[in-house]
Amino acid sequence: MIQFFLRVGLPIIAVLLLIYALVDAIKVPDDSMYRTGNKLIWVIVIIFAQPLIGPVIYLAIGAPQTPRPSRRPSRPPPDDLI
């Protein structure tokens, strides 16, 4: 079972992660959104680093942070309290 995962499952996971990271890096509209580097550097890292290492490095270090939505929508105070 472990041999099957190492021969079939791990390469499939590596290819899917590579595709996800590459599409994510290409879709970033502005180079200033990356935490470090720019689009060209990250595409090169993703493609030419070892199959699993490049996408993991991109997702851990370079991928833009998505703004987190606030937990509660901000509402103005009711008129009777002012």
| Residue 26 confidence class, pLDDT cut points 50, 70, 90 | very high
3-state helix, strand, coil in the chain (%, to 5): 65, 0, 35
**Which residue's structure tokens are 């993991």?**
56
Contact 22, 47 (CB under 8 A): yes
Q: Average pLDDT, whole number, for the chain?
A: 85
Mapped onto helix, strand or coil, the DSSP state of residue 47 is helix
- Considering just the CA atoms, what is the radius of gyration of the chain in Å? 20
Q: Please say whether the beta carbons of 63 and 23 come within 8 A.
A: no
Stated length of the chain: 82
What pLDDT score was predicted for residue 46?
94
Domain map (residue ranges) of the chain: 2-62
Q: What is the pLDDT of residues 33-75, one digit of tens each?
A: 888 889 999 999 999 998 889 999 999 998 887 765 556 667 7
